[in-house]
Structure 1
């Protein structure tokens, strides 16, 4: 009798659907729900030091930061080349510039820009010859 009751309860639970409250239908992946790729898929944002390598500039502030592949940077500012040098790092969306002058600046990654108190850096056009 106990076996028959257990079989009946299992059959009843199975007929009710999944225990997690979801449907039996497979959940579509985010890429399957839209034929248009998201901005993050087409324009990856900097997340690691290697993603920063290259020249970033803010023409309004006349400020350029040259990120090197050895985790060092060189800043040009207000027409002064090699204004400041130092080491950089990026973690959890924060870019840190530790200058050899003892000053540290922190900025945040916002989309494809780096936002600092001084200004907002965008990747420089590679055809500009810098």
Structure 2
């Protein structure tokens, strides 16, 4: 691994390594009802609700959620920066990377809130 990649990995892990418990869904928040893989209106979102590309332009971070339960992250211009599997449990989405680190975020309305940034569906 090059020094630049090592530094980038360390920086990403430092800012996204744990769940920000302050980012909980607001009571009464209603997800989108679009059938194009937007979060569902059901009380409990599932993996299918996340399929697609989500990004945070300010953080230069994009996550591609695949229908087979895998994800690919692009970070600060580095394509395929991190890969792994994802799961949904209630209002929490967990990204378990092939690096052994799991990053948890909250499903807040039609966004995914992580410590690194808030992802919006593209």
In the alignment, is residue 102 of structure 1 matched against residue 92 of structure 2?
Answer: no
Q: For the pair shown, which has the larger CA radius of gyration, 1 or 2? A: 1
Pick aligned residue for 1:64 from 62, 69, 79:
62
What's the C-alpha RMSD, in Å, of the aligned pairs?
Answer: 1.6
Residue 122 of structure 1 deviates from its aligned partner by 0.4
Pick aligned residue for 2:51 from 50, 53, 56:
53
TM-score normalised by structure 1 residue count:
0.63
| Number of residue pairs the alignment of both structures matches | 86
Question: Partner of 1:40 in structure 2?
Answer: 30
Give a deviation string over 1:60-84, Cα, whole Å, max 9, x none.
Answer: 0010000000000000000000000
Residue 93 of structure 1 deviates from its aligned partner by 0.4
For 1:62 and 1:79, the matched residues in 2 are separated by 7
Unaligned runs of 5+ in 2: 1-27, 34-38
Work out which structure has the larger RCO, using CA pairs closer than 8 Å and 6 or more positions apart in sequence: 2
For 1:40 and 1:66, the matched residues in 2 are separated by 23
Residue 39 of structure 1 deviates from its aligned partner by 6.7
Unaligned runs of 5+ in 1: 1-37, 125-130
Residue 103 of structure 1 deviates from its aligned partner by 0.7
